[in-house]
Amino acid sequence: MLNVSIYRYNPELDSEPYMQDFQVDTQGKDVMVLDVLEKLKTEDPSLTFRRSCREGVCGSDGVNISGKNGLACITPLSDAVKGNKLVIRPLPGLPVIRDLVIDMSQFYAQYEKIQPYMINNNPAPAIERLQSPEERAKLDGLYECILCACCSTACPSFWWNPDKFIGPSGLLQAYRFLADSRDTATEERLANLDDPFSVFRCHGIMNCVQVCPKGLNPTKAIGHIRSMLIRSAT
């Protein structure tokens, strides 16, 4: 039997959060953490968490699994269980709505700030804006982000200043548009980032890289943004 400890908090009933212990029979199979949560929900329907695609594409079930942020649906028990114990908490740093569900408004507000869409005021060509294979290759490792928030909620700078520091996820997306050959707003985008908080609160501790379930590297993207700022300002 696997010992599972889960963060529980229902603001309508509980005065404060607590950890609830469960025992789960996994029949010795190396199932995913989400499978354990689903099994527990059949026993206790009040257990609340987000999930959708169950294959690491939608980014809904980001939780803190035995101390490390990750997607419950693609984290096998063999990676998460320590000493026959599995501890599941909500992603840290953002307000908890209930159990494992967090309020991601602050995270989305930062995403909105970086204008996550193509800006190009040139007249649209007859068919489409073309890119060379090399230009397209620059977007690899950037466009794959699914906005699960595992990285930003693993970042102490984002914990302390979620209203001012864009966070690794938002900055990865910012660079995705800075690197896009079809985008013409590079200077405006850079000007919006050159303050002591938006980009420069990143101290390069690379928690984001360690936890990204898609294997992306926000620290590297932030380094590229910094280089672009240096190029344009010196």
Q: Which residue's CB is nearer to another protein, number 127 or number 233?
A: 233
193 binds another protein (CB under 8 A): yes
Burial of 167-206, coded b for 16+ CB within 10 Å and e otherwise, reads bbbbbbbbbbbbbbeebebeeebbebbeeeebbbbbeeeb
- CB 114 → another protein: shortest distance, Å? 11
Show contacts with another protein in window 194-213 (CB under 8 A).
194-201
Cα–Cα distance measured from residue 228 to residue 223, given in angstroms and rounded to the nearest whole number = 9
Q: CB 35 → another protein: shortest distance, Å?
A: 36
> Which tokens go with 227?
């280089």
Q: What tokens were used for 134?
A: 């090399």
Residues 226, 165: Cα–Cα separation, whole Å: 14
User: Site map for another protein, 151-170, x if CB under 8 A?
Assistant: ------x--xxxxx------
Which span (62-70, 126-134, 137-145, 186-194) binds another protein, by CB under 8 A?
A: 186-194
> How far, in Å, CA of 36 to CA of 73, rounded?
10
Pick 38 or 92: Cβ nearer another protein = 92
State which residue, 184 or 232, has the beta carbon closest to another protein. 232
Residues contributing to the site for another protein (CB under 8 A) = 157, 160-164, 191-201, 226, 229-230, 233
